[in-house]
Structure 1
Amino acid sequence: PLDRFIITKDFGIQAAIDETVGAVIVESIPWLHGVNPRSKQWWINLRDLCTNRNINLIVDDVAGSFGKLGYAFSTDRYNISADIIATSKAITAGYVPFGATFANKKIVDVLKDSTWDHSHTYNPSAYAIEACNCVLERLDEFNNIPRLEENLSDIFFHTGLESCNIGLVGELKLPTTKSPEQYWKAGLELNIYVPDRFIIVMPVIANEEYFFRLATSIRTLLSL
């Protein structure tokens, strides 16, 4: 768990781990209790730590993959590699239930030479695979994540409030806690874990109309 790491101001990492630890599991972009992105150097330090101590780095990339941080995998943004990456949801843009686990050659070589082999009663359908392919095509076709990221930053900046965003994931700290009813009136949904913050994950295909409606909803929420 992350509480076993000492995080310094520059996001360097000193690990309190021993020889019994076989893997470190990290979420690519913590957001449920507030958007807390880690720096590129933080990720590089973590990758070096795992490599030097022969520990597998497992990235839970459900919240950050397939465009949410600007790339197919969040690790690409930080220019590192993970031993195992877990994904789902955005891999089909949420249209079809689907999840996938990716592993490097080191992991795959161990699995293919062992008795570890299983299947499920509900395997991915051709429909789910096609939805996944469409998402990948969209990422190549639009390639506009930097523009979307900048647009979200601009909307947050003009509120004059404390904010944070990375890729398509953003957080706006509200001056006062808003009720679920106030969120609904503004056409938004409340995150019950941090009711004093507005948290958003934008779609890859966001257009001008989307940003206009988003800015309008935020202004409405702040006025309530």
Structure 2
Amino acid sequence: MGIAIKVALLTAYAVIGTCVGLLFMGIGRKIIARVHNRVGPPFYQNFIDVAKLLSKKTNISHGWIFDLALLFSISGILLTLLFLPIGGVQLLSMEGDAFLVLYLLAIPALGFALGAGASGNPNAGVGVMRALVMMLSYELPFVITLIALMIYYDTTSLATIVRMQSINGVKSWAITMPPFMLAAFAADMALQGMLMEQPFDIPVAPHEIASGPMVEFGGKYLGSLMLYKAIALV
């Protein structure tokens, strides 16, 4: 597979993942509105919000570190896409890429820490401290789950793990095996923590610390942050 094809596939992954993620976010807002007995925004509202935010001009900057932080977070997610087998296609594959993905998934949180530190906002600092402490709690179960899969399938390659699980269909999925059911639940909770979704949204805490690390993000920065969250959600 040539470099041009890989770049095209990565672009397609990012575009499709962003659209699907924004759609899921819109559906989630709609469901929450129904729970609150409200009509709520249309399911495509997030697309409108992103387009509006990205079109805004930014007159105030907190420095190049603040600008770099969001790119740092988005690049971590995009690099992760390179190693994930999607539809039988994996753009980059090597022995030990499962460990590499663990490191790549930690990049977004570090990017937020850089941005919050550069903003100088006390609420952002509090939110980042909470996020880094919570990171220690959700990384451990996620790492243990992935290591258990590597030991069971005797490989550290994500492509090999996926291929071995697809041999006999659903019956060969690790999640259907009793020892891995609890591990799958723990990994799912860890992913909720990575996305800072409820009930693991204490780093954001809008009613307490004004969205924490994201308090200084506005305009194009906030629009880019929504794009990052959409890709990460998928």
Give TM-score scaled by structure 1 length. Answer: 0.27
TM-score w.r.t. length of structure 2: 0.26
Which is richer in helix? Answer: 2
Structure with higher strand content: 1
